[in-house]
Amino acid sequence: MNRGRWLVLLWLPTVAAAWEEEPALAFILAYNPVVQAQRQATEAYQPPTLTRRVMEHTAFYVRAASGTSSTTSETGDTTTSDPMTVGIQVNIPLASPREQREYAQQALAEATRIDEVRNRALTDLGKLRELEAERAAAQERLDFHKNKADWMQERIKKGFEGDVEKLWEAAQKQNTEAAATKRLELLIAAQRRQVAHTAGEQWEPLLDYLRGQLKQLPES
């Protein structure tokens, strides 16, 4: 391997992570247990719609009308009847100030919870992205030192004994970068799980997505 080649390796671009922030964030907000519980509470306090109020407060009635009516049959018999009036009575109360106030309080609480979960998720996703970038950089340095060591071994085989000490230094740096890479892999795995579990029962698809094992998250 020539020297120019391993010098260039240090400047190779990092590989971008496969996951995207926006889909992950939307998935978390859709399935986060705290957000879901608050949404249910808000729905429970929502004042009924006009259609629902009409159905709840509509009653049918039948009452006697004024006057009588007579009917004479072909045989000459006369029948007298009291007419009845059939109708619908609607009494629709408007939403009370208390209902509106309670609903507004729950809606505000929901917005607050969503904002809290979003900010936490953004922080956790940002930390994950940072760790992945550090890991990619450490891997590049590790590859660089490996290739440098290989190059020096070839030179030593050709009689350049002065490179023995440099080879030892390269091997030491290689071990350091290997340890750093392993440490970052463990941190990334833990961070991915932390982010995934903010999606509640749907944590597994999110974890697979963050690992790059799932190209697209299920529709929420």
CA distance 207 to 183: 19
Give the whole-angstrom CA distance, residue 150 versus residue 117.
Answer: 49
Residue 8 vs residue 135, higher pLDDT: 135
Q: Beta 84-90 vs 78-81: how paired, if at all?
A: unpaired
For the ranges 60-69, 135-144, 203-212, the one whose mean pLDDT is highest: 203-212
Q: Distance between CA 43 and CA 38 in Å, rounded?
A: 9
Cβ neighbour number for residue 206 with a 10 Å cutoff: 26
Quick one: pLDDT at residue 177? Answer: 87
What residue spans of the chain are helical by DSSP H?
3-9, 21-31, 33-45, 50-56, 97-157, 164-196, 203-211
Can you give the pLDDT at residue 77? 57
**Are the CB atoms for 57 and 91 separated by under 8 Å?**
yes
Q: What is the pLDDT of residue 3?
A: 44
What pTM was computed for the model? 0.64
Which range has the top average pLDDT, 70-79, 120-129, 143-152?
120-129
Residue 6: half-sphere exposure toward Cβ, Cα within 13 Å: 16
Residue 151 predicted with pLDDT over 90: no
Whole-number Cα distances in Å, 141 to 37, 146, 164, 169: 47, 9, 21, 14
- Structure confidence by residue, pLDDT tens digits, 13-49: 444 458 999 999 999 999 999 999 998 888 887 776 6
Number of neighbouring beta carbons within 10 Å of residue 187: 16
Q: What is the spatial distance between Cα 96 and Cα 211, in angstroms, rounded to a whole number?
A: 51
Residue range 168-216, pLDDT digits in tens:
777 788 888 889 999 999 999 999 999 999 999 999 999 999 999 999 9
